[in-house]
Amino acid sequence: MPLDEIRQLPSRFARTAWLARQAGFGGVQIHAAHGYLLSQFLSPLFNKRSDEYGGVIANRMRPLLEAIEATRAAVGPDFPIAVKLNSSDQLEGGFDKEDALEVVAALDGSSVDLIDISGGTYFPGANSASDGTVSGPYFLEFAKRARMATTKPLMLTGGFKRRAQAEDAVASDAVDIVGLARALVLEPSLPDLWKADRKPEPIFPRFPDAPERGITVWYTMRLTEIGADKETPVFGDLGQAIRDYKGRNKSRSKVWLRHFANSVVGQT
Ligand SMILES: Cc1cc2nc3c(=O)[nH]c(=O)nc-3n(C[C@H](O)[C@H](O)[C@H](O)COP(=O)(O)O)c2cc1C
C-alpha cells in the first residue's frame, strides 16, 4: 500500500463515522480485528513494511491510533467510538497476546470509549470466531489481562451461548459488556428474554462436518431470512445454506463487477 494511501486512511474512517452520525447511528466501531485492513497492519504476518507503519508494534498500531483520533475530531467528544481488537490472530507468527496488550495500553491513552475483544481471522485455513465450536466464552482469559492494562470499558464477544455465561463474565469483573452474534441470530429477542428471566435458552444447531466458514455461512443465510421476514421455526439445512450463499454471491459478483471491474483492473 503506497504511503499516500496510508496517510489518507484516517480521514476515510473519520468521514465514514461522520456519515454514520449524520444518518442517525448512536455510535461507531472501528474494526481492527478478524483480518481486515487495520488488523493486517497490526499483524507481523501480513505487515512486512519497513517504514513507520511496520516493524515494532508501536508502528503497526499507528494506522489504528490515527484512525481513532481523526474519527474523534470528526464526530465530536460525545459520540461513542469503540474499537474491535483481536486478542490474537491465532496464527503462528501473527499478532499475539503480548502485541494485543500493548495495543490495549495504547488505546487506554486514546479517545476511544470502548474496547471490544475478539480473536481469529478470516484467512483461509485460519480460525475465525464466528466458526468457533468451543463451548463457553473464547477470549475471557485475555480480557482479564486486558483489564489490568486499561480503565476503558471492555466488551467481550465470542462463544456466549447461555445467560449464566454472560452473567459470570460480567460478575467476574473481567468485562463490562457481553457481545452476542450467533445467539442473537437464533433468538433476536434474547437480551429481553434474559432480562425477563424467560426460558428456554436458544438451541444451537450442530454441524459436525461443516466445511471451513460453513457455520458462518449458515448464520449469514439465517440472518438474511430474518431480514426478509422469511424465517421459519424449523432451521434450514447446512448444505442448502451453502448453495444459497454461493448463488447469492454469484449474482452479487455480477453487479459488483459491472460497477467496479474497470477500477479493479486498473489497480492491478
Ligand atoms: C453471520 C455473521 C456475520 C458477522 N458479521 C460480522 C461483522 O460484520 N463484523 C464483525 O466484527 N463481526 C462479525 N461477525 C462475528 C461476530 O461479531 C462474532 O465475533 C463471532 O460470531 C463470535 O461471536 P458469537 O460466538 O457470539 O457468534 C459475524 C458473525 C456472524 C455469525
Q: What is the pLDDT of residues 91-144, one digit of tens each?
A: 999 999 999 999 999 999 999 999 999 999 988 888 888 898 888 899 999 999
CA of 52 to the centre of ligand 1 (A): 31
CA of 179 to the centre of ligand 1 (A): 9
Residues 172-195 have a mean pLDDT of 95
For ligand 1, is residue 118 a contact (CB within 6 Å)?
Answer: yes
For ligand 1, is residue 216 a contact (CB within 6 Å)?
Answer: yes
CA of 243 to the centre of ligand 1 (A): 20
- Whether 205 has a pLDDT exceeding 80, the answer reads yes
- Whether 234 has a pLDDT exceeding 70, the answer reads yes
CA of 50 to the centre of ligand 1 (A): 32
CA of 208 to the centre of ligand 1 (A): 20
Which amino acid, one-letter code, is at 87?
S
CATH number assigned to the domain with residue range 3-204, chosen from the 4 options 3.40.50.150, 3.40.640.10, 3.20.20.70, 3.40.50.10860: 3.20.20.70
Residue nearest to ligand 1 atom 28, measured at CA: 130
For ligand 1, is residue 87 a contact (CB within 6 Å)?
Answer: no
Q: What is the pTM of this model?
A: 0.92
For ligand 1, is residue 245 a contact (CB within 6 Å)?
Answer: no
Q: Residue 51's CB: how many other CB atoms inside 10 A? A: 10
Residue 180 and residue 194 in contact, taking contact as beta carbons nearer than 8 Å: no
Residue 257 has a pLDDT of: 86
Q: What is the pLDDT of residues 46-102, one digit of tens each?
A: 999 999 999 999 999 999 999 999 999 999 999 999 999 999 999 999 999 999 999
Residues 5-16 have a mean pLDDT of 98
Residue nearest to ligand 1 atom 14, measured at CA: 130
Residue nearest to ligand 1 atom 15, measured at CA: 130
For ligand 1, is residue 184 a contact (CB within 6 Å)?
Answer: no
For ligand 1, is residue 223 a contact (CB within 6 Å)?
Answer: yes
Domain ranges of the chain: 3-204, 206-268
Residue 200 has a pLDDT of: 85
For ligand 1, is residue 63 a contact (CB within 6 Å)?
Answer: no
CA of 268 to the centre of ligand 1 (A): 30
Residue 188 has a pLDDT of: 94
Ligand 1 atom closest to Cα of residue 215: 31
